[in-house]
Amino acid sequence: DDKIIAGSAKHPIVVLDKGQHYKYGTAGFRMKADLLEGVTYRVGLLASLRSRKLNSQAIGVMITASHNPAIDNGVKIVDPQGDMLEQEWERYATQLVNAPSDAELAKVYNTLATDLRIDISAPAKVVYGRDTRPSGHTLVTALASALEATETEAADFKILTTPQLHYLVRATNSEGTPLAYGEVSEAGYYNKLSEAFVRCMKGKKIEGPLIVDCANGVGGPKLNEFLKYIPQEKLPFEVKVVNDDILRPEVLNLDSGADFVKTKQRAPPHPKPQPGVRCCSFDGDADRLIYYWIDPEVGFVMLDGDRISSLAASFIGDLVESAGLKEELRIGVVQTAYANGASTNYIRHHLKLPVICTPTGVKHLHHVAQGFDIGVYFEANGHGTVLFSPDAVTAFKKTDPQSPAQKDALDTLAALSDLINQTVGDALSDMLMVEVILAHKAWSLRDWSMTYSDLPNRLVRVEVNNKDVFRTTDAERRLSHPEGCQAEIDSEVKKFKDARSFARASGTENAMRVYAEAASRSEANELADRVAGIVS
């Protein structure tokens, strides 16, 4: 207790104004960095408890605020398999962080240990990393202090992308087992990806360079590092890394990155976009990916998470069929309510694959995707991955091929399951996957974009007094509260062709979000405005 209290005194919590409290949300704790030192200390305490609860397996802590401005930061916990913290424990995190004093903190800590039957003398291990934000340094110090106070073994991996940290947690816990995920080092991550990429490509080529905008975040130096691992003659196209300045913190996520491209629906202004060139953007911690190009005729064209999802599902579906595993393996796609209706239609009716809709937030999609042998999940914002079950991976390796084509399909599937990050969405790994698929299909971005036409859509942010009165059901597609609200939305939607609209409270901001799609741009805009009027 004394150690925990002394450590907490060195990293004090900022007590918030009356009526406000810290909450472990969709992205962990995320806010202005100067509020986070005490929070991070307390998250360290929780991570040690979690490790002890789970037989001393390593728990991850990532310090990042993703696409948020440079002055923000955040801290979140990663479970032993590299997935997000179990939901039940978000409550415990919230309790610990809101303890009003150092002494109260020790009490909450002990109560949690007793209630959850945790032996606090058992060994514990925490693996951690941070993005390039300058505030990360102070926060890591607070975290290390909590690990020291609780006699927890610490592995500091310094600056990482979020998905690299997830990789390292899983690699640590699977080391030396038959399910070993990879070498426990940053180099191990690059080795695994570069080796799998070369195996997937099979010497195929792609035309033209690829421009990768890294939002001046951690993805820049990490992508540059990764490229050194691929033998020059095996790299099938030229990669130009842009917006990779991490020395000036103020440019992080500024007019660049996947979130900018998706929300502004335009290319980053710098460097000046060149018509016809294949481009993609990572977000600030490199877990989101959006593709686009400037078409000489129609201008900016974007290929978002829904497009990546349908591209992956189509390619993998075909491979599974060629591999003769169609009857054996269940492939499914998981989306949120934000997925463009045209993508859902394409996957259901053209690819003939099941689609499940979940609430927003990676943990929900990930969980449902685990229910398939091959689960493809992406949010429209570009965060997502493809999960392969142990049965699927075994089938790729053990099936005895009856033809060269079948062997080829099995090999590509096995290589893909190594290339695609199995823990969480990973911009670098997803980008390599997209390049592999485009190479195999011999497709340009224009070919890819022709698979279906997006329904015109509009997303608006609506300021409200109290977003908590809005409660949703049916994977956030309908409002259950306040009463009568949904009926009003329904009656507006009915007035438009091919229309759909929903309103939900943001999980990361104090606002409502309204999404609408309809047969034309003007109708989508009109519908969004009307629904915004209903909830404001």
Residue 430 in marked binding region: no
Min CB(367)–ligand 16G separation in Å: 12
Residue 283 in marked binding region: yes
**Residue 283 found at the interface with Zn ion (CB under 5 A):** yes
Residue 417 in marked binding region: no
Rounded-to-integer distance, Cα 499 and Cα 133, Å: 42
**Residue 256 found at the interface with ligand 16G (CB under 6 A):** no
According to DSSP, the residues that pair with 74 across neighbouring strands are 30
153: tokens are 């073994």
Question: Under DSSP, is residue 409 helix (H, G, I), strand (E, B) or coil?
Answer: helix
Does the bond joining 271 to the residue before it have cis omega, within 30 degrees of 0? yes
Rounded-to-integer distance, Cα 520 and Cα 455, Å: 7
Rounded-to-integer distance, Cα 206 and Cα 226, Å: 19
Angle between helix 186-201 and 219-227 (nearest 10): 60
Tell me, by CB under 6 A, how many residues bind ligand 16G.
Answer: 13
Q: Which amino acid is at 91?
A: R
Do 214 and 242 contact (CB within 8 A), yes or no? Answer: yes
Q: Which stretch binds Zn ion (CB under 5 A): 78-86, 139-147, 175-183, 281-289?
A: 281-289
Q: Give the nearer residue to Zn ion in terms of CB position, either 66 or 135.
A: 66
**Residue 525 found at the interface with ligand 16G (CB under 6 A):** no
Do 256 and 215 contact (CB within 8 A), yes or no? Answer: yes
| Interface with ligand 16G (CB under 6 A), residue from 26, 141, 191, 451 | 26
**Residue 513 found at the interface with ligand 16G (CB under 6 A):** yes
Rounded-to-integer distance, Cα 157 and Cα 144, Å: 12
Min CB(519)–ligand 16G separation in Å: 25
Residue 507 in marked binding region: yes
* Nearest residue to Zn ion on Cβ basis: 66
User: How far is residue 379 from each of residues 12, 30, 283, measured CA to CA in Å?
Assistant: 36, 20, 14
Residue 66 in marked binding region: yes
**Residue 287 found at the interface with Zn ion (CB under 5 A):** yes
**Residue 163 found at the interface with ligand 16G (CB under 6 A):** no
**Residue 379 found at the interface with ligand 16G (CB under 6 A):** yes
| Interface with ligand 16G (CB under 6 A), residue from 105, 362, 428, 432 | 362
Q: Give the nearer residue to ligand 16G in terms of CB position, either 53 or 76.
A: 76
Question: Under DSSP, is residue 46 helix (H, G, I), strand (E, B) or coil?
Answer: helix
Residue 504 in marked binding region: yes
Min CB(365)–ligand 16G separation in Å: 8
**Residue 131 found at the interface with Zn ion (CB under 5 A):** no
Residue 91 in marked binding region: no
**Residue 358 found at the interface with ligand 16G (CB under 6 A):** no
Question: Under DSSP, is residue 144 helix (H, G, I), strand (E, B) or coil?
Answer: helix
User: CB-side exposure of 28: number of CA atoms within 13 Å?
Assistant: 28
- Residue 18, number of CB atoms within 10 A of its CB: 6
Do 378 and 384 contact (CB within 8 A), yes or no? Answer: yes
Q: What are phi and psi of 132, to 5 degrees?
A: -85, 0
Q: Which stretch binds ligand 16G (CB under 6 A): 89-97, 301-309, 433-441, 500-508?
A: 500-508
**Residue 94 found at the interface with ligand 16G (CB under 6 A):** no
Q: Give the nearer residue to Zn ion in terms of CB position, either 434 or 489.
A: 434
Do 293 and 279 contact (CB within 8 A), yes or no? Answer: yes
**Residue 418 found at the interface with Zn ion (CB under 5 A):** no
**Residue 360 found at the interface with ligand 16G (CB under 6 A):** yes
Relative to beta strand 278-282, strand 210-213 is parallel
Q: Which of residues 64-103 bind Zn ion (CB under 5 A)?
A: 66
Min CB(509)–ligand 16G separation in Å: 5
Catalytic residues: 66
| Interface with ligand 16G (CB under 6 A), residue from 209, 506, 525, 529 | 506
Q: Which amino acid is at 179?
A: L
Rounded-to-integer distance, Cα 276 and Cα 519, Å: 28
Q: Which stretch binds Zn ion (CB under 5 A): 218-226, 233-241, 278-286, 367-375?
A: 278-286
Residue 508 in marked binding region: yes
Give the residue from 203, 193, 206 showing the smallest Cα distance to 163: 193
| Interface with ligand 16G (CB under 6 A), residue from 170, 383, 467, 500 | 383
**Residue 379 found at the interface with Zn ion (CB under 5 A):** no
Do 61 and 45 contact (CB within 8 A), yes or no? Answer: no
Q: Give the nearer residue to ligand 16G in terms of CB position, either 381 or 429.
A: 381
Q: Tokens 């605020």, residue? A: 65
**Residue 285 found at the interface with Zn ion (CB under 5 A):** yes
Residue 285 in marked binding region: yes
- Residue 241, number of CB atoms within 10 A of its CB: 18
| Interface with ligand 16G (CB under 6 A), residue from 4, 13, 27, 118 | 27
Q: Give the nearer residue to ligand 16G in terms of CB position, either 47 or 149.
A: 47
Q: Tokens 């806010």, residue? A: 31
| Interface with ligand 16G (CB under 6 A), residue from 3, 507, 525, 529 | 507
Residue 216 in marked binding region: no
Q: Residue length, the chain?
A: 536
Min CB(285)–Zn ion separation in Å: 4
Residue 195 in marked binding region: no
33: tokens are 């960095």
> Measured at the alpha carbon of residue 51, what is the angle toward residues 45 and 55, in degrees to the nearest 5?
150
Please give the residue ranges that form the binding site for Zn ion (CB under 5 A): 66, 283, 285, 287
Annotated binding residues for substrate: 379-381, 504-508, 513
Output the known binding site for Mg(2+): 66, 283, 285, 287
Which residues form the interface with ligand 16G (CB under 6 A)? 26-27, 360-362, 379, 381, 383, 506-509, 513
